[in-house]
């Protein structure tokens, strides 16, 4: 025997049977929503060429991911999201009719400092629409995210929507110039609701913008509420440029569509939402579980019409949504929304004596053939010990078979919780088990 | 736009919607068999400490896996199988009632030279029973593997069973001594049916064993056929030692159990089966698709009572089975056993004019709520183009909505293949769609 035990690396986890029961339940809910919204499941490669990962996020992405050289000296990295791979897949498939609606639910890796609700390997669901500039697609991915939350009965949430064209447009109108300066301002706005007012002012000044600019920006990005009210209260001077006006119109159209989708009630405009990452260029949104804002957005996304051009020889407009499985699980735990979930067999077939064991195996084989998860003793135990094991495994039904039962073509069936035993004919067992399991 | 396209690294792949449809179908079949046999799904961490991976297979495993140091200098590696992680998980859980029956279906990575049916990232299903020395568990995992093949209607296969105690026992009786020499002989025997007779003789002589020994070994390991015949034809002199006799008895008992499981017909004893890897120490088996022996065993496994002791402070006897998803897919393709599988919506709702579009969104929302995968136009296309898109996506049913239909509270429903259109009342649409989809 080893003198020591082997652990999992920092930030990594095993999922045991109980954890997996929850994940399987949740994944099934999510996949089923994505499917009924007309998305097709794909899975991009887990290992990408490092240059593919850098193309989206710049060489600084190396600080946040697992990367390594393989034995042939190729620079590779583990995927850090699903969007990169899905986008790369689409750009190489001009044969597919558009829009292309694909989705995935898979794991990814990031070299974050492990902290509450953050692991170095985690899962996301992700749904993307490629090939249309229309707002229908933006409304669709928001509605899909909301349907996922509704499908697990998480109802106390809010979707905060804005538009990057509008945000960049008004910054330019205010006199912020230069791509880098705009990007810094966007990154700062992204923190507006996450840091204190003082910290926000400091950050804003640090990028060299004036106090007048800070005041005007704050005036805009503090606007939050029902779409019609927010859209009406944006001062005219901020929608004069082509860009900000376009963003304003997109927001207005999007909310009309969200109404058609029956999703207006939980959607607000929040002009501080910009999604830090550089590639968004239209509608952006983030959903928050009101009982769990501390873990961050429960889903988020937006339009990125330029990303495809980065990965290939054609431009394909795109919009999408993604959410973290681990964060959603925390919300479900907090709101006690997981049903009681167990894995394992529903029936445990016991043998009264050695001679009955072959018959037990046959009976188990029959039940399994009928789709009933079923198990039997594999340790040569006494009947008492067999029933104790069934009990410790929380198996709801035991079947008891001995020479007397075999002779008469019957079995005893016992509901473990109540200890109530009845006899049924062997050929009626499966039916009786199914009746009791309902 | 980029001047180039980005590819996936050598040996890696994306799974597109068509490929995923097959995988999802197959995974569901496999998981459902594992569940009804009473196994609980788990998922061990994808990244392990390198020492964990080396503990099973020695430092030379580095040549075959992806490993790297993380930013804190820890030596890590991507898992190369599921057994290591599952075993590590169990050794640390003395609280679980035994036997512990767990399974997994997940991806893994190996730095193999890519070749037909071999990728550097691939998937396996894996079912393991921990905590019993009884042959019931060995029979169970063999039966499970066979049930998986039966569940996808792959029927032309053979399970070849042997026993490592018997193999090592007769080698020792023949005078082969020393752990290393035994291991070399076992590795050579593993190749018996994969290389020519001449090559086999060369290999055998290379490890310094005599021609007499070669003759006697060949006499034994060439034995293959129904269990009773093979067991009876093993010369008495080879079952005299405690070890070989134990192996012989285990084989005999196992085949009695396989008969109880109703699995005798496709199981044979093949004394050349030893499973190359060092840790097996009892029953060993390999299943071959008779139409695809070239891709190797379609599942395989055996008993490994010593491995748990390597990973922790307690010994736990264990037996298990695993099979490659990619190999199974090749067998299914060759035998044309995949059903026609498509992903994507079942209904495409079209709008005759602009004014009808909001109603179409509402209708789609209703159908989705009822669980019907449904989509609508997101590109502002004419009715004709909408129907063409539905056709190109192979969506079986189109729904057509215009002002005349809206006024009368009806919709047109069209079966795309036949072009037959009928009218149904709006509130009967879901029912009619379900009827047509059956």
pLDDT in tens, A34-66: 999 999 999 999 999 999 999 988 888 899 999
CB contact under 8 A, A9 and B70: yes
Q: Give the H/E segment covering residue B302.
A: strand B299-303
Tokens encoding B281: 């120490």
Residue B125: pLDDT above 80? yes
Is B155 found in the same domain as B124? yes
Residue that terminates a domain, selected from A274, A305, A334: A334
pLDDT less than 70: residues of chain A: 1, 3
- pTM of the prediction? 0.95
CB contact under 8 A, A131 and B5: no
Residue B297 is predicted with a pLDDT of: 95
Residue that terminates a domain, selected from A309, A334, A359: A334
Is A301 found in the same domain as A223? yes
Please check whether residue A330 lies inside any domain of the structure: yes
CB contact under 8 A, B5 and A315: no
Is B433 found in the same domain as B295? no
Is A137 found in the same domain as A99? yes
CB contact under 8 A, B2 and A55: yes
Strand ranges for B204-280 from DSSP E = 224-225, 267-270
CB atoms within 10 A of CB A137: 25
Domains: count for chain B: 2
Residue that terminates a domain, selected from A304, A334, A364: A334
CB contact under 8 A, A68 and B68: yes
Residue A145 is predicted with a pLDDT of: 98
What is d(CA A321, CA A308) in angstroms, rounded to the nearest whole number? Answer: 16
Which residues from A are below 8 Å from B72, CB to CB? Answer: 10
Which residues from B are below 8 Å from A9, CB to CB? Answer: 45, 47-49, 70, 74, 76
First to last CA, chain A: 46
Is A299 found in the same domain as A276? yes
Tokens encoding B224: 């293959």
CB contact under 8 A, B6 and A45: no
CATH of the domain at B323: 3.30.930.10
**B147 → chain A, closest CA residue:** A369
Is A240 found in the same domain as A140? yes
Residue for token pair 């050794």: B91
Strand ranges for A207-325 from DSSP E = 224-225, 267-270, 283-289, 299-303, 318-324
Each residue's pLDDT tens digit, B290-307: 988 888 999 999 999 999
What is d(CA A295, CA A367) in angstroms, rounded to the nearest whole number? Answer: 45
Please check whether residue A3 lies inside any domain of the structure: no
| Distance of residue B49 Cα from the nearest chain A Cα, in angstroms | 6
Residue for token pair 């699980």: A329
**B317 → chain A, closest CA residue:** A379
Question: B250: domain range?
Answer: 17-334
Q: What average pLDDT score do residues B213-235 get?
A: 94
Output phi, psi for A374, to 5 deg.
-145, 145
Option in A35, A147, A361 nearest B260 (CB): A361
What is d(CA B303, CA B335) in angstroms, rounded to the nearest whole number? Answer: 31
Confirm if A305 and A315 have CB atoms less than 8 A apart. Answer: yes
Option in B9, B314, B361 nearest A48 (CB): B9
CATH of the domain at B380: 3.40.50.800
| Distance of residue A397 Cα from the nearest chain B Cα, in angstroms | 13
Is B262 found in the same domain as B173? yes
Option in B55, B365, B392 nearest A262 (CB): B365
Q: Which ranges in B307-414 belong to alpha helices (H)?
A: 307-311, 325-334, 357-369, 383-392, 403-408
Residue A422 is predicted with a pLDDT of: 94
Is B292 found in the same domain as B263? yes
Q: What average pLDDT score do residues B102-115 get?
A: 91
Please check whether residue A423 lies inside any domain of the structure: yes
Is B286 found in the same domain as B252? yes
Please check whether residue B75 lies inside any domain of the structure: yes
* ipTM higher than the 0.85 cut: yes
CB atoms within 10 A of CB A381: 16
Q: Which residues lie below 8 Å from residue B97, measured CB to CB, with a gap of 6+?
A: A389, A392, A393
**B258 → chain A, closest CA residue:** A361
**A78 → chain B, closest CA residue:** B78
Is B245 found in the same domain as B122? yes
Confirm if A268 and A224 have CB atoms less than 8 A apart. Answer: yes
Strand B75-78, strand B157-163: pairing = unpaired
What is d(CA A233, CA A252) in angstroms, rounded to the nearest whole number? Answer: 13
CB contact under 8 A, A376 and B46: no
Please check whether residue B76 lies inside any domain of the structure: yes
CB contact under 8 A, B111 and A32: no
**B36 → chain A, closest CA residue:** A373
Of B158, B164, B162, nearest in space to B287 by CA: B158
| Distance of residue B16 Cα from the nearest chain A Cα, in angstroms | 5
Option in A51, A345, A361 nearest B261 (CB): A361
Option in B6, B37, B121 nearest A368 (CB): B37
Angle between helix A17-36 and helix A135-151 axes, rounded to 10 deg: 140
Is A356 found in the same domain as A213? no
- Confidence bin at B1 (pLDDT 50/70/90): low
Q: Provide the b/e sequence for A67-76 (b: ≥16 CB within 10 Å).
A: bbebeeeeeb
Which residues from A are below 8 Å from B57, CB to CB? Answer: none
Tokens encoding B56: 């099973």
Is A300 found in the same domain as A352? no
Please check whether residue A340 lies inside any domain of the structure: no
Give the best residue of A43, A307, A398 to mutate against chain B (max B CB count within 10 A): A43
Average pLDDT, chain B: 94
CB contact under 8 A, A46 and B121: yes
Please check whether residue A409 lies inside any domain of the structure: yes
Please check whether residue A388 lies inside any domain of the structure: yes
CB contact under 8 A, B134 and A379: yes
């Amino acid at each position: 025997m080893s003198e020591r035990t082997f652990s999992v690396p920092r930030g990594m986890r095993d999922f045991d049977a109980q954890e997996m029961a929850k994940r399987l339940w949740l994944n099934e809910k999510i996949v089923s929503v994505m499917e009924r919204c007309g998305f097709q499941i794909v899975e991009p490669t887990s290992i990408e060429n490092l240059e593919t990962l850098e193309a989206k996020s710049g060489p600084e992405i190396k600080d946040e991911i697992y990367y390594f050289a393989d034995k042939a000296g190729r620079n590779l990295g583990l995927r850090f999201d699903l969007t990169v791979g899905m986008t790369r897949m689409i750009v190489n498939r001009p044969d597919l009719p558009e829009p292309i609606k694909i989705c995935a639910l898979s794991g990814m890796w990031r070299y974050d400092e492990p902290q509450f609700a953050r692991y170095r390997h985690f899962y996301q669901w992700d749904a993307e629409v490629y090939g249309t500039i229309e707002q229908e697609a933006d409304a669709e991915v928001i509605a899909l995210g909301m349907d996922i939350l509704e499908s697990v009965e998480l109802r106390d949430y809010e979707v905060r929507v804005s538009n990057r064209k509008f945000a960049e447009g008004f910054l330019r109108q205010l006199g912020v110039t230069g791509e880098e300066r705009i990007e810094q301002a966007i990154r700062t706005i992204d923190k507006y609701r996450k840091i204190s007012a003082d910290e926000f002012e400091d950050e804003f000044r640090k990028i060299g913008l004036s106090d007048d600019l800070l005041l005007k920006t704050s005036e805009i990005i503090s606007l939050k509420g029902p779409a019609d009210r927010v859209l009406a209260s944006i001062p005219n001077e901020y929608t004069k440029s082509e860009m900000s006006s376009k963003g304003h119109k997109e927001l207005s159209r999007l909310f009309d569509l969200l109404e058609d989708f029956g999703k207006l009630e939980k959607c607000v405009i929040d002009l501080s939402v910009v999604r830090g990452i550089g590639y968004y260029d239209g509608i952006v949104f983030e959903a928050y579980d009101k009982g769990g804002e501390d873990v961050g957005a429960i889903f988020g996304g937006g339009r990125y019409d330029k990303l495809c051009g980065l990965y290939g020889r054609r431009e394909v407009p795109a919009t999408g949504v993604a959410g973290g499985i681990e964060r959603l699980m925390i919300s479900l735990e907090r709101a006690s929304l997981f049903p009681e979930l167990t894995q394992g067999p529903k029936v445990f077939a016991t043998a009264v004596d050695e001679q009955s064991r072959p018959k037990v195996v046959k009976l188990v084989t029959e039940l399994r053939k009928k789709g009933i998860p079923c198990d039997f003793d594999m340790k040569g135990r006494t009947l008492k010990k067999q029933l104790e094991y069934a009990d410790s495994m929380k198996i709801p039904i035991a079947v008891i078979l001995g020479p007397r039962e075999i002779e008469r073509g019957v079995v005893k069936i016992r509901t473990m919780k109540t200890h109530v035993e009845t006899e049924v004919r062997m050929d009626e067992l499966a039916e009786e088990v199914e009746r009791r399991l309902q």
